[in-house]
Amino acid sequence: MKALGLIAVLGTGLLLLAASRDFPNWGDPSSPASSYRLSRHFITQTINETAVPNMVTAVLADYRGYDTLFEAVVIFTAGIAVIGILRRYGNRDFIPAGGEVHLTPKQPDLIVESTVRLLIPVIQIFALYVIAHGHHSPGGGFQGGVIFGASFILLALARDLRTAQNWVAEKRMLILACCGILIYAGIGVLCQLLGENFLDYQILHRILPTDPVMARYHSILGVEIGVAFTVTAIMFSIYSNLSSNGQMKEGI
């Protein structure tokens, strides 16, 4: 088995190495990826068409809006799948085949508690900054959402899962995740109702007090907020299910 695997891996590697001679050199400005007109259009026209200086955000949420919508749906589906696989409701204690794991009750630790108490608000403010400032600096819904979810995971690690669950109940988190998808898809449907294509934001200038370019700018922010809701909720949901073996009682 090992020898067979090694042969397959080496064969694939050699094939790819042989193919890599046809690839462009490192940093070649005339490589196909850089010289194709799509790249030039994104770089030169994004600011005129959407007024967003960060091209990555503009391409993510506007030009490739469909892709990002279903990316958010992928995250949502993964969260639902983890709950479906692991989550056990009810009070009956389930003893796994590997033997029950006994975690000693956590003693409150002064240093850890004080540090976390100081850190979590800063992390959450930073997450909001990353979401809201994604137009002008590296950031956006996915990144900010992960940072926000990490603040809850930090709380669950430093105290215990119960404390984190008291802060944000499981049900509320899942409602938040659904809201995120609904915000994103709702903006798309709103464009359709106004007579344009799905996720074609510029028609929204009819209901927003701005011109078509700024309508795209502001809808990108709305879409990013929807993505951030979903990512925050699903990150914490995956963590709490995995760490407590689906019982949501005693975490790591």
Partner 1 sequence: MELLEAIVDGMNYWIFIILMMIGLYAMITKNNLVKKLIGMSIFQTAILLFYISLGVKEGATIPILPHYYAHTSQEEQGNLVGSSDQAHAGKEASSATEGGKEKPSVAHAGSPKIDPNRFTNPLPHVLMLTAIVVGVSTLGVALSITQKLYTEFGTIEENEILDQLKSGDD
Residues between 40 and 59 that touch partner 1 (CB under 8 A): 40, 42-49, 51, 53-56, 58-59
Give the residue, chosen from 115, 137, 163, 192, that forms a contact with partner 1 under the rule CB under 8 A. 137
Q: Given candidates 92, 187, 213, 232, which one binds partner 1 under the rule CB under 8 A?
A: 213
Least separation in angstroms between residue 152's CB and partner 1 is 15
In whole angstroms, what is the distance from residue 128 CA to residue 121 CA? 11
**Candidate residues 65, 90, 93, 98; the one interacting with partner 1 per rule CB under 8 A:** 98
Cβ 146 to partner 1 shortest distance, Å: 8
* Nearer of residues 124 and 245 to partner 1, judged by Cβ: 245
Q: Tell whether residue 219 is a contact of partner 1 (CB under 8 A).
A: no
Look at residues 65, 35, 62, 68 and name the one whose alpha carbon lies nearest to residue 49.
62
Contact 231, 142 (CB under 8 A): yes
78 touches partner 1 (CB under 8 A): yes
Per CB under 8 A, the segment of 27-35, 112-120, 152-160, 168-176 that binds partner 1 is 27-35
| H or E stretch covering 82 | helix 65-86
Of 75, 127, 190, 233, the residue at the interface with partner 1 (CB under 8 A) is 75
From CA 224, how far away is CA 232, in angstroms rounded? 12
What one-character DSSP code corresponds to residue 201?
A: G
129 scored as a contact of partner 1 (CB under 8 A): no
Token digits of residue 22: 């046809």
Q: Can you tell me which of 191, 238, 240, 251 binds partner 1, judged by CB under 8 A?
A: 238
Q: Residue from 189, 242, 249, 252 that binds partner 1 (CB under 8 A)?
A: 242
Q: The tokens of 18 are what?
A: 């042989």
Least separation in angstroms between residue 198's CB and partner 1 is: 18
Comparing CB distances to partner 1, the nearer of 198 and 212 is 212
243 closest CA partner among 119, 89, 82: 82
For the chain, how many residues are written?
Answer: 252
Binding positions for partner 1, 149-188, rule CB under 8 A:
none
Encode 178-217: b = buried (16+ Cβ within 10 Å), e = exposed: ebbbebbbebbebbeeeebeebbbbbbbeeeeeebbbbbb
For residues 204 and 191, is the Cβ–Cβ distance under 8 A? yes
| Segment near partner 1 (CB under 8 A); pick from 39-47, 107-115, 123-131, 175-183 | 39-47
